[in-house]
Amino acid sequence: MKTNRRNFLQVLGAGTAGFGVASAVWLPDWTSGKNNVDASASTMAGGIPVKRNNQMWPIKSELKSRRIKFDSPQNQISWAFMKELREHNKTRKIYDIDPYVEVYQFRDNLYGLFQENCDGAGDFWMYLTIGPEKAMLIDTGFGLGDTKALVDQLTGNMPLIVVNTHDHYDHAYGNCRFEKVYCHEYLVPYIENQHANMWDYLFDDYGNNIWLEFDRKDLPAFKKYEIVGVPDGYTFNLGGDYEVELVFTGGHAAGHAGYLDRKGRIFFSGDNICSDVSGCGSVNSTRPGPYAENTALKVYRDNVKRLVDRMDEYDYIFPMHFMNNIENNLMPNIIEACDAILANPEDYDYKVEKYGKDRSAGPSARYFKFIKGFSVIGYGYRKA
């Protein structure tokens, strides 16, 4: 089935009925003027006038940051999940020591640290697992706010192991708040190129925030730190028999890895799994840089197969964006979608084309395939 963006939104909206949010979803008709947003119009929510951002109702927030805009709307399922969680979860806390983070307790020893993305991409999670003797922080975000002080407060100043799933801005720019960070060995050259000006793109030429309103002084002062690359299967011990294993996945990034908490029976999947768009590689073109062959979709597919074979070792999946606490029976459906793409990349469910400033160049295209019962895989494909 091939469809354009408008039809995809209609299909996705219809499919949300099984999640109990269909009545809360607004599906825009981009081809007519009837759904145009009147900038002067507002809607009453709890007696407070609010403006809608296309299909997304505002989420009530007590964070110090304030969203200016997203580059693109999140899908309705992800937005509904996050709105319900952020407005009604009884474990949510914001600590004075870091007012940019919402802290959620998902298990007795597991905290989700939610932060709004400093650029126009989707908001993200960091996860803090507390073992008998040590704690582990998975990803460090943009570094906005004093993440280290917050983690120390939550753990009671326990010894801390910091790890990255991958090198992207919203996952590793906060590394410099810590003395040592672990990652997969293929990721090291990508993290080593961090520098003091890497946050500059968040501001325009006048110094104004582009996507998220926050105090620039709350970003870290960059400093060098120790980067330790480890191989697939490397195990971190948090005390006693509490072990967390690095599992190489590739796909989304050349050195992308997940982390398998054997005691907690949780797989922290990074960005290869996402309830909005799972971006996990390209069919026949790879990204530039060292070990780039690992950004191929086939590499990711084969590593997912390893995780399917190990499903008896974990029960839940915690991605780094949007929905989490997902049951492990999603994994075979991901394999099925990957196999369908690799068998015939032109049998996509929909595609998105965008034109750039160069009028002589054609549009760039990204292709999408549904994961049964979940979201979509977005993949690159260069036609012969």
The string of pLDDT tens digits covering residues 226-255 is: 999 999 999 999 999 999 999 999 999 999
Mean pLDDT across 167-185? 98
Same domain for 83 and 62: no
pLDDT band at 102 (very low <50, low <70, confident <90, very high): very high
Mean pLDDT across 293-305? 97
Mean pLDDT across 167-171? 97
Same domain for 110 and 197: yes
What are φ and ψ of residue 234, in 5° steps? -60, 135
Total structural domains within the chain:
2
Q: What is the pLDDT of residues 301-348, one digit of tens each?
A: 999 999 999 999 999 999 999 999 999 999 999 999 999 999 999 999
pLDDT on residue 2 = 54
Rounded to two decimals, the pTM is 0.87
Same domain for 148 and 14: no
Same domain for 250 and 140: yes
Mean predicted lDDT score pLDDT of the chain: 88
Could you identify the residue written with the tokens 């068998």?
343
pLDDT at 34 over 70: no
Could you identify the residue written with the tokens 């803090």?
128
Tokens of 320: 């780094």
- Side chain identity, residue 381: Y
- Which residues 6+ apart lie within 8 Å of 376 measured at CB? 277, 278, 349, 368, 369, 370
Same domain for 194 and 106: yes
Mean pLDDT across 346-365? 91
Same domain for 355 and 252: yes
pLDDT on residue 43 = 47
The answer to whether 124 and 321 are in contact (CB under 8 A) is: yes
pLDDT on residue 212 = 97
pLDDT on residue 54 = 59
What CATH number does the domain containing 339 carry?
3.60.15.10
Q: What is the pLDDT of residues 183-204, one digit of tens each?
A: 999 999 999 999 999 999 999 9
- Side chain identity, residue 202: L
Tokens of 84: 């319900």
Same domain for 355 and 210: yes
- Which residues 6+ apart lie within 8 Å of 233 measured at CB? 245, 246, 247
Same domain for 259 and 216: yes
The answer to whether 172 and 118 are in contact (CB under 8 A) is: no
CA dist 136 and 40 (Å) reads 47
Same domain for 130 and 48: no
Same domain for 269 and 319: yes
**Domain end call among 66, 99, 117:** 66
Same domain for 8 and 155: no
pLDDT band at 40 (very low <50, low <70, confident <90, very high): very low
Range of the domain at 139: 67-380
What are φ and ψ of residue 124, in 5° steps? -135, 165
pLDDT at 286 over 70: yes
Strands (E), 275-325: 277-282, 316-319
- 20/305: higher pLDDT: 305
pLDDT on residue 326 = 98
Q: Which residues pair with 124 in a beta bridge?
A: 115, 321
The answer to whether 113 and 103 are in contact (CB under 8 A) is: yes
pLDDT at 24 over 90: no
**Domain end call among 19, 49, 66:** 66
Q: Using alpha carbons, select from 383, 373, 379 the residue that is nearest to residue 323.
A: 373
Same domain for 90 and 2: no
pLDDT at 21 over 50: no
pLDDT on residue 53 = 56
CB-based burial of residue 238 (10 Å sphere; 0-12 exposed, 13-18 middle, 19+ buried)?
A: buried
- 2/136: higher pLDDT: 136
**Domain end call among 66, 98, 123:** 66
